[in-house]
Amino acid sequence: MKRSLLFTISILFFGLTTMLNAQRDDNNLKSEVKKLLDKMTIEEKIGQMTQVTIQTVSKKQGNKDQHHELDLAKLEEVVVKYNVGSLLNVYDKAHEIEYWHEVITKIQDLATKKTRLKIPVLYGIDAIHGATYTLNSTLFPQSLGMASTFNRELVKRSRNYSS
């Protein structure tokens, strides 16, 4: 009886401590965000709310037979001069994962080293079918297509495979 009571009190104490720490962390985060927003110019705020496609900062555009190549001058103009906060990868040719790591690293290095407030760029991909921009990755049918098979086991297998 004493053991289970002690165990229950310990769990409650741990839960309360965790909740208070999370609330403190949330308050700290809100405070940091407010400080950052207070430092930002209107141009930086507009830039942070802007998303452009990766083609905007690419040397070659619109030809899926060509290898993608990042244009560092365009990237610097978009991220440093115009404060763009988000890039969306909608490139239509798959490349090796190492190449995309290199591209994303260049983008983040520029944002965190050359911009005034050092805010990282959000890098988005359309991955509803899988990692479609990565060479040799697995692609799956859209969720609606999978659901329309009424084959729950097939959906479970695809989810386990992709995670």
Pick from 43-52, 116-125, 139-148: least confident: 139-148
Distance CA 46, CA 53 (A): 16
pLDDT at 140 over 70: yes
Pick from 33-37, 121-125, 159-163: least confident: 159-163
pTM: 0.72
Single-letter amino acid, residue 56: T
Q: What is the mean pLDDT of the chain?
A: 85
| Mean pLDDT for the stretch of residues 3-19 | 65
Over the stretch 54-113, which tens digit does the pLDDT of each residue have? 999 998 765 566 778 899 999 999 999 999 999 998 877 888 889 999 999 999 999 999
pLDDT given at position 121: 97
* Side-chain-side CA neighbours of residue 143 (13 Å): 3
pLDDT given at position 94: 83
Contact between residue 84 and residue 53 where contact means Cβ atoms under 8 Å apart: no
pLDDT given at position 105: 96
pLDDT at 161 over 70: no
Distance CA 124, CA 51 (A): 9
| Mean pLDDT for the stretch of residues 27-50 | 94
Confidence of residue 143 (pLDDT cuts 50, 70, 90): confident
Contact between residue 161 and residue 138 where contact means Cβ atoms under 8 Å apart: yes
Which class for 85: exposed (0-12), middle (13-18), buried (19 or more C-beta within 10 A)? Answer: buried
Sketch the domain layout of the chain as residue ranges. 1-39, 42-162
CB atoms within 10 A of CB 84: 23
CB atoms within 10 A of CB 121: 21
